[in-house]
Structure 1
Amino acid sequence: MEWFTSPDYWLSRLVFQRGLAAIYLVAFWAAARQGRALLGEQGLTPVPRFLARVPFRRSPSLFHLHYSDRFFVCCAWLGAALSAALLAGAGDQVPLAVAMVAWLVLWLLYLSIVNVGQVWYGFGWESLLLESGFLAVFLGNEHTAPPVLILWLLRWLLFRVEFGAGLIKIRGDRCWRDLTCLYYHHETQPMPGPLSWFFHHLPKPLHRVEVAANHGAQLIVPVLLFTPQPVASVAAGIIVVTQLWLVASGNFSWLNWLTILLALPAVDGRRAAEVLGLPRPPAPAAPPVWYEAVVLAATALVLVLSYWPARNLLSGRQLMNYSFNPLHLVNTYGAFGSVNRSRQEVVIQGTDDPVLTPHTVWKDYEFRGKPGDVRRMPRQYAPYHLRLDWMMWFAGISSAYAGSWFTPLIGKLLVNDRATVKLLRATPFPGTPPTHLRARLYLYRFTTPEERRATGAWWHRTLLGEYLPPVRLEETEQSERPA
């Protein structure tokens, strides 16, 4: 079938697949480094406890067959190794069927982690990576030209990501409609980056222009992805530019980078190769019949599953970042339907005083990414995902978000649990554990340029009140015991 493949998109496929392998590598690396502390047998929300109450049909995962911390880490490092091999081009050096199996194994491994990841893996970009990874299974390798149907399904995925995000904004917080959301967003976003302070202090008229441009990029441009070339390539280029703007202004794990990659299959690869001066590869062989059948079956599956996210886009009660099936296929996406007007941060403090007095000195625990020390410049971590730091942001919004893991976290810090302490930037008690811990809620705001010059601080913080009263280890152990 001549219509089945499009050799012109060979470069688009190559860059997309290599980039996707790089994101998989980051995701598995993060799982290997953070999994034991967050999800391990002695972690904050242990996987065995989760598996005991959630059946396989609701969370398909290899770990229903067997779980141990060592097995979890081995799966994560296996995924990282396979991702690195595909990033290096191994998928183009093996037969088509072997390459497809490699991509399928990556998808199965990461699905297994996400489906036992609980609150730590409840982010929209987990589903986005899984859906992108599933489609990558059927993109083939250099032994055959890219299949047209899968290229269109990738555009459909990108459309849902961008258009869904645009709709959730325009239907949500009023500040998106009056163009004022960026008066607050750069300061109150989950994890500001090194340039966020500067973005926050841009002139307010420019912030309004940014919001208006965002509406155009998310509500108009995605429709153009389905138009003929070169318009589709221009639309993809606009999406790439807007995503790079978001990369520069904050830390959103691999969400922005994966969205950029999803735009590439909409770019006319032949013209891009000509502009870059790349030689056209030899004409690939005709795709085998079995491959055509598999691609047609995958396309039919995605089209059937598209009913629910398409209906969601049209619904006045639009869901954001929701999976309609436990395989995380054909999901709905969106971000920042509402924007916080102020930033509340939970600061954990400890002391080694055996008895608390009004003169007790409390020392702050420092996290890697979330604001703490007011003089520390925000760091760039994306596309790496600091899962505990992100959940601490949610905890500052409401203690309800911290119900399952905050008390266990305090308990781990009271014994200087090695795996947990590794998640932090620094502990004020590297030797002997503290005797007491407490948590306080602070209002954080970016300093003004004048305050920044005078004090060198990036943040100003004001105490709002007590988040957790002083506790000892015995008290955290009692609170974790079943009634």
Structure 2
Amino acid sequence: MNWFATDDYWIGRLVFQRMLALIYLLAFVGTAFQFRALIGSDGLTPIPAWLRRVPFRRSPSVFHLHYSDRVFALLTWLGAAISAALLVGAGDAIPLWASMLLWLVPWALYVSILNVGQVWYGFGWESLLCETGCYAIFLGSTHTAPPWLMLIALRWLLFRLEFGAGLIKIRGDSCWRDLTALYYHHETQPMPGPLSWFFHRLPRPVHRLEVAANHVTQLVVPFLLFAPAPVSTISAAVMIVTQLWLVCSGNFSWLNWLTITIAVSALPDSVWHGDLGLPVPAQSGSTSWFQGIVIAFAAVVLALSYWPARNLIARRQLMNFSFNRLHLVNAYGAFGSITRTRQEVVIEGTRDAGAGLSATWLEYEFRGKPGDPRRLPRQFAPYHLRLDWMMWFLALDPYRGQVWFIPFMRRLLCSDRATLKLIRLNPFPDSPPRQVRALIYRYRFTTWAERRETGQWWHRELIGQMVPPMHD
């Protein structure tokens, strides 16, 4: 190792870059398929209306220059194409300066999308992708050894991500402190996966052990990232294993896979070469202009780190918060509070003119969120179903979602094609319903006995009506 770069992380950088490119690809493809109904010109929260209200300085985005659905789709697919090229190694087949520009494009495009995405892009992993993607620009390619400053920046990011999440939990809901959080969380998390029912049915001592292990992983292990190897290697490996456990137990978009991606950058070549048998790339130096750019960017990261570092020790810690419009050096954290019961909004429609007992109501089915009690939850992560996630938040606080939910109901009344593509089952394929309504149910996982008797994964009870019957 010289003063600027190291020869011990070539393969870790390569794996990190390929995994990041894949996550970029999924993010852009998901946006391309969902944006028209959500934020398009005729969407639930249209971008043009947002651009008229919010100036460039508050939401830097290329779409302030010009917006149309066609331009948005073109730039989104451009981001997907470049991500695919980076995935297959295009960044290593061109000069270093060109590789940096290639990594710059998806970052700039995704920041532009995030800054006009409104409530649909208000998740912590959106900013996490932007921050991680920005570091990738300065990580170099096979033309130069991995710069230490960027490897340390990625560890600082991983530290904030894990330690921030641990502090949010231990400072928040008492169920994290008394180790009972997972009595509820597998059942009440935003979007359960196909194994969540089985995780929920684990013995309660196992749940308590899970919570205790989580506290160790998030409150103790992150400090070991800055220790010499092999301690730092072991700490990164522990985080990777923990994240894989979360991948199995739920659907958290690309949050877990991106955390694994960041942790991979902390694994030295001895892990990949010695344990997996991968070859170590030929060594190469670094040019002075590249060193100057990396040092300057590292200084920016250091300066911006003041706010998230202060947030970690603040009495009122912010969760998933960006301190600047480019989403660099953010604050992270999740599930500071745990809901004990699960509520779901169920939307129904009818072709009958009246709304009395004689009306026949048919249920709309979503792709990921619970609906039909007999349907096993599906695995969608790392793909992000934005509407399904917002439906979970809607059930927690119906009033906050009215800005988009009532327009969504109206789209169903006219069988809007773009909107119907976001859901799994439209019970009115031939003609629109005359009326739609929204009900609130309480859901819980069935017991082993109920599962054997009914074949259902969920038991649900009607709580009441959230939106009375609507018609055009």
In the alignment, which residue of structure 1 is the partner of 2:470? 471
In the alignment, which residue of structure 2 is the partner of 1:264? 264
Q: Once the two structures are superposed, what CA deviation does each residue of 1:438-471 show, in whole Å capped at 9, x if it has no partner? A: 0000000000110000000000000000100001
In the alignment, which residue of structure 1 is the partner of 2:250? 250
In the alignment, which residue of structure 1 is the partner of 2:286? 287
User: What is the rounded CA distance, in whole Å, between the counterparts of 2:105 and 2:405 in structure 1?
Assistant: 34
User: What is the rounded CA distance, in whole Å, between the counterparts of 1:192 and 1:283 in structure 2?
Assistant: 45
Compute the displacement of 1:245 (Å): 0.3
User: What is the rounded CA distance, in whole Å, between the counterparts of 1:28 and 1:316 in structure 2?
Assistant: 37
Q: Are 1:9 and 2:9 matched, yes or no?
A: yes
In the alignment, which residue of structure 1 is the partner of 2:80? 80
What SS does structure 1 have at the residue aligned with 2:194? coil
In the alignment, which residue of structure 2 is the partner of 1:177? 177
What SS does structure 1 have at the residue aligned with 2:403? coil
Compute the displacement of 1:2 (Å): 2.4
Q: Once the two structures are superposed, what CA deviation does each residue of 1:391-449 show, in whole Å capped at 9, x if it has no partner? A: 00000001123121001100111010000000000100011000000000000000011
In the alignment, which residue of structure 2 is the partner of 1:315? 314
Compute the displacement of 1:242 (Å): 0.4
User: What is the rounded CA distance, in whole Å, between the counterparts of 2:443 and 2:400 in structure 1?
Assistant: 19
Q: Are 1:361 and 2:360 matched, yes or no?
A: yes
Q: Are 1:236 and 2:236 matched, yes or no?
A: yes
Identity of aligned residues (%): 64
User: What is the rounded CA distance, in whole Å, between the counterparts of 2:7 and 2:411 in structure 1?
Assistant: 55
Q: Once the two structures are superposed, what CA deviation does each residue of 1:37-92 show, in whole Å capped at 9, x if it has no partner? A: 10000000000000000000010000000000011111111000000000000110
Q: How does 1:143-222 map to 2 (within 5 A)?
A: 143-222=143-222
Q: Which moves more between the two structures, 287-296 or 156-165?
A: 287-296
In the alignment, which residue of structure 2 is the partner of 1:481? none
* Displaced runs of 4 or more, over 6 A: none
CA contact (8 A) 1:230 1:268 kept: no
Compute the displacement of 1:276 (Å): 1.8
In the alignment, which residue of structure 1 is the partner of 2:446? 447
In the alignment, which residue of structure 2 is the partner of 1:101? 101
In the alignment, which residue of structure 2 is the partner of 1:51? 51
What SS does structure 1 have at the residue aligned with 2:461? strand
User: What is the rounded CA distance, in whole Å, between the counterparts of 1:251 and 1:241 in structure 2?
Assistant: 16
RMSD: 0.8
Q: Once the two structures are superposed, what CA deviation does each residue of 1:266-320 show, in whole Å capped at 9, x if it has no partner? A: 1122343122222322221x21111011000110000000000000000010000
Which TM-score applies when normalising by structure 2?
0.99
Q: Once the two structures are superposed, what CA deviation does each residue of 1:118-141 show, in whole Å capped at 9, x if it has no partner? A: 000000000000000000000010
User: What is the rounded CA distance, in whole Å, between the counterparts of 1:33 and 1:444 in structure 2?
Assistant: 29
User: What is the rounded CA distance, in whole Å, between the counterparts of 1:377 and 1:154 in structure 2?
Assistant: 37
Q: Once the two structures are superposed, what CA deviation does each residue of 1:22-45 show, in whole Å capped at 9, x if it has no partner? A: 000000000000011100000000
User: What is the rounded CA distance, in whole Å, between the counterparts of 1:271 and 1:374 in structure 2?
Assistant: 45
Q: Once the two structures are superposed, what CA deviation does each residue of 1:353-396 show, in whole Å capped at 9, x if it has no partner? A: 12333210111000000000000000000000000000000000
Compute the displacement of 1:5 (Å): 0.7
The amino acid of 2:470's aligned partner reads V
What SS does structure 2 have at the residue aligned with 1:338? coil
What SS does structure 1 have at the residue aligned with 2:282? coil
CA contact (8 A) 2:186 2:250 kept: yes
User: What is the rounded CA distance, in whole Å, between the counterparts of 1:239 and 1:401 in structure 2?
Assistant: 35
The amino acid of 1:200's aligned partner reads H
User: What is the rounded CA distance, in whole Å, between the counterparts of 2:282 and 2:329 in structure 1?
Assistant: 34
Q: Once the two structures are superposed, what CA deviation does each residue of 1:143-175 show, in whole Å capped at 9, x if it has no partner? A: 001000000000000000000000000000000
CA contact (8 A) 1:11 1:270 kept: no
Compute the displacement of 1:8 (Å): 1.1
In the alignment, which residue of structure 2 is the partner of 1:410? 409
Q: Are 1:135 and 2:135 matched, yes or no?
A: yes
CA contact (8 A) 2:11 2:281 kept: no
Which TM-score applies when normalising by structure 1?
0.97
In the alignment, which residue of structure 2 is the partner of 1:382? 381
The amino acid of 1:451's aligned partner reads E
In the alignment, which residue of structure 2 is the partner of 1:118? 118
Residues 345 and 271 (structure 1 numbering): CA distance in 2 closer, same or farther, change over 3 Å?
closer
Q: Are 1:40 and 2:37 matched, yes or no?
A: no
User: What is the rounded CA distance, in whole Å, between the counterparts of 1:400 and 1:152 in structure 2?
Assistant: 43
5+ residue gaps in structure 2?
A: none
CA contact (8 A) 2:322 2:331 kept: yes
In the alignment, which residue of structure 2 is the partner of 1:67? 67
